[in-house]
Structure 1
Amino acid sequence: MSSEDAAAEPAPRRWRIDVSPLRTSSDFRALFTAGVVSYLGSMFTFVAIPLQAQQLTGSFVVVGLLGLAEVIPILVFGLWGGALADHVDRRRMILVTEVCLGIGSLILLANALLPDPHVWVLFVVGALFAACDSLQRPSVDALVPQSVPHHQLGGAAALMSLRWSVGFILGTSLGGLVASYLGVAVAYGIDAVSYVLSFLIFLSLKSRGRMKDEGTPGIGAIAEGVRYAWGRKDLLGTYAVDTLAMVLAFPWAVFPFVAEKFDAPWALGLLYAASSVGAAAASLTSGWTSHIHRHGKAIVIAASLYGLAIAAFGLAPTLWLALVFLALAGAADMVSGVFRSLVWNQSIPDDLRGRLAGIEFLSYAIGPQLGSARVSLMAQWRGLGFSIASGGILCAAGVLALAAALPTMWRYDVRTSVDVAAVRAARELRAPDDDD
């Protein structure tokens, strides 16, 4: 869209989410639809695992350690998954890992049906989920820029964010009710069914072959991606901001205890869903993001607001006010996420996209696991409210410090980036198939 077209665009349309990627690309429709189904089901398990751990042990520490159990698989398989995404058929990688994730849900179901469920199974399957997701997610992320034209990447990023938000809202809301009142076994069973459905949808993806025919997806391939990322401090900044925010201001692991604090076990699902309600609202009005060019500033401001909203959540005196602050945090996180995705998808060459997606996965996957451990252990030490609120304040301060330390991220502008110009030119030479 030219600047003249943008200026002439009706105001209501500027605020609406761009759905053109869904209309024009069957591959993107498959990625979006299967992702909604799969993520919806996985949120049932996301709620059920810490709830079952609380029911079996009643310990902040055990709930926090569940997150730590996933860190090593993410570290090992996240970078390797990114290398594989550049060297193997990305469609095949997605299908194989989807099957493995479904098997993990069946193991949880079988354990939950035992007369005395084993806590260690939660740790083992959590690690399995982390490994499979680490292998799958880079391939999914790397397929997005291959599935839509370059000018539709903004709409694609907003739609993918909406996919997570819708799945999180419905999945955690329903998952909280199902796990609390029907039992965690029912929640695990629903998750297993969702993987069957998403697998069938993923089957419709077209194979795009391998991005690199030479070499093997080993240490050398991973190192090439790391060197590229290290050479671009604007990219490093986007990863660091996300990691910092999640490590310091990710209170999801203690939501069962927050519900208990407000004497509202029925609100567990609402706590999990509140941030995604805000994220979905921001996604549905994301048309304005296409008119923002200084993506670095947008990331920093949104991530700082996220931290402040989490701090306010930790200090909220009532349940309903706490839910409002969580929704505001979700909206800020969604805005930050959209602009991070735009930086990644618009400026990283396709033959490196998988490996950089692996690094991206580490930035947004390790953070929540470490954040879950931090908030749980600090809650055990200093109390629930202090743990949440102090983390949010430190998040906002840390993001601003990163912006000062990495000025190329703060100054990043899509209109003047030489990396964006090079990637756009390369993609225009091999535009993706338009299906409809």
Structure 2
Amino acid sequence: MATVTVPTEQPPSPPPSPPPAAWYRRAARGALADLSPLRDNPDYRRVWAGQAVSSIGQQMTAVAVSVQVYELTGSAFATGLVGLFSFVPLVAFGLYGGAVADTVDRRKLGLIGSAGLAVISLVLAVQAAAGIGQVAVLYAAVALQAGFFALGSPARSAMIPRLVPAHQLPAANALNTVSMNLGLTVGPMLGGVLIGAYGPQAAYLVDTLAFAGTLYATWRLPALRPLGDRKGRASVLDGLRFLREQPNLRTSFLADLAAMIFGMPRALFPALAVTLYGGDARTVGLLVSAPAVGALLGALFSGWVGRIHRQGAAVLAAVCAWGLAIAAFGALRNLWLGLLLLAVAGCADTVSMIFRNTMMQVAAPDEMRGRLQGVFIVVVAGGPRLGDFESGAVASLTSPVTSVITGGLACVAAALLLAARRPAFLTYDARHPTP
């Protein structure tokens, strides 16, 4: 008779043990922004801290100027002219400042730019305290501020590859984005509190004092003269010709322009706040601040960017993510989901900016970095303003919602077209950078 074997019951497997606490700590460190550029490079640490403080002060001044102009005129159009008076000097002096930064000591040029900004902020504080009440004075001050900023900014940006090693540049650019977005989020809030309590002169005075950090940090730097035997003047046209002949760098600029021109619905926020959400000025404030909050969070959790070598592909992926988030924002009717999508778009913009800056700093030779940073300022300043015009024009022909959705989709289409026209950009490798 055959025997029947009865399988013995196996004891249940023990549940998997949770990862040790050290694993969680390593994962957290890998996700958060890489602080090694601050830890390892004292000169960069001082420059970063000074720029973070002065960025907050500059945003306080921007709010104070708008408040003053509106109080004096009661006109939204007159307040909007503040942007025009800053745009023209930004474009003109951005290109010129980039050319100068390639021929002189960048440390000295950075000092001149920061000192000029501090003096203008002091002048604004004096005029506000004295009750001069002349809009022309405010417009002139804004134009001079934009000129000094555009003159010194290319030099400050072109310094970074001389202050940190190449492998830390992605982390350094992420940290620069943190300081910039701290200014965009904290500055207006602090400015509003100070203006409400003590008047616009308080915001101007704090901004003036904030420049002390930037001036001190720049003063402590070693001389940052041009490398090699470069002499004479650097031509703006030479910089533009260089950019035209370098397909990877040119594509990175075109990708940013596509995002800003087609996918920037900033000018439509007041109309959307009323028609889409039934809100008021407070809703507009939430819409304006949401991308900056997302950008700040993206920079704070940027520890992974240093491990990405295909930076061209990352730029186009980030631009597509921006466009899709903007299109989805236009398609929805829920305010909180809309704010979340705007924050996602801001985060994607941060990723794109980190990699575009890194490509420009590594792939471009030192003698061209100033001029390329000047072009970068023009793109950053001009792109959103062209985007305001594009979104407003489409909205006037269709509707604000249609303008937002089609703009976001056009941004994605432009990124895909760039990928098709320039496949080598997708394979750009940060370990073997080619401009």
Flag whether TM exceeds 0.5 (same fold): yes
Cα distance, 1:201–1:214 mapped onto 2, change above 3 Å: closer
Cα distance in 2, alignment partners of residues 189 and 268 from structure 1: 28
Residue 150 (structure 1) shift: 1.5
Residue 18 (structure 1) shift: 1.5
Of residues 67, 77, 84 in structure 1, which corresponds to 2:83? 67
Give the secondary structure class of the aligned counterpart of 2:344. Answer: helix
Deviations 1:294-334 (A, max 9, x none): 21111112112223333444565454344322211210100
Of residues 237, 248, 254 in structure 1, which corresponds to 2:262? 248
Cα distance in 1, alignment partners of residues 208 and 288 from structure 2: 20
Corresponding residue for residue 234 of structure 1:
248
TM-score by length of 2: 0.82
Corresponding residue for residue 215 of structure 2:
199
Of residues 151, 154, 169 in structure 1, which corresponds to 2:185? 169
Identity across matched positions, percent: 36
CA contact (8 A) 1:169 1:272 kept: no
TM-score by length of 1: 0.81
Corresponding residue for residue 6 of structure 1:
none
Cα distance, 1:234–1:39 mapped onto 2, change above 3 Å: same
Q: Return the letter of the residue paired with 1:243.
A: L
Give the secondary structure class of the aligned counterpart of 2:303. Answer: helix
Give the secondary structure class of the aligned counterpart of 1:368. Answer: helix
Deviations 1:338-376 (A, max 9, x none): 111121122111222222222222221222343345556
CA contact (8 A) 1:68 1:370 kept: no
Corresponding residue for residue 93 of structure 2:
77
Moved more, 199-208 or 35-44: 199-208
Corresponding residue for residue 155 of structure 1:
171
Moved more, 319-328 or 26-35: 319-328
* Higher RCO by CA contacts (8 Å cutoff, separation 6 or greater): 1
Q: Return the letter of the residue paired with 2:62.
A: F
Cα distance, 1:27–1:177 mapped onto 2, change above 3 Å: same
Corresponding residue for residue 138 of structure 1:
154
- The root-mean-square deviation of aligned C-alpha atoms, in Å, is 3.2
Give the secondary structure class of the aligned counterpart of 1:70. Answer: helix
Cα distance, 1:166–1:128 mapped onto 2, change above 3 Å: same
Q: Return the letter of the residue paired with 1:290.
A: G
Cα distance, 1:116–1:377 mapped onto 2, change above 3 Å: farther
Of residues 411, 427, 431 in structure 2, which corresponds to 1:395? 411
CA contact (8 A) 1:278 1:330 kept: yes
Of residues 297, 300, 318 in structure 2, which corresponds to 1:302? 318
Gaps of 5+ in 1: 1-8, 420-436
Residue 157 (structure 1) shift: 1.5
Cα distance, 1:44–1:390 mapped onto 2, change above 3 Å: farther
Deviations 1:183-223 (A, max 9, x none): 544333332222234323332222223336543235xx323
Cα distance, 1:365–1:266 mapped onto 2, change above 3 Å: same
Between the two proteins, the alignment pairs up a number of residues equal to: 409
Moved more, 409-418 or 124-133: 409-418
Residue 115 (structure 1) shift: 5.5
Moved more, 96-105 or 182-191: 182-191
Cα distance, 1:178–1:401 mapped onto 2, change above 3 Å: farther
Cα distance in 2, alignment partners of residues 384 and 143 from structure 1: 42
Q: Return the letter of the residue paired with 1:102.
A: A
Q: Return the letter of the residue paired with 1:231.
A: E
Q: Return the letter of the residue paired with 1:229.
A: L
Deviations 1:99-157 (A, max 9, x none): 11122223444454566834444433332222112111111111111001122112112
State yes or no: 1:362 paired with 2:417: no
Q: Return the letter of the residue paired with 2:106.
A: R
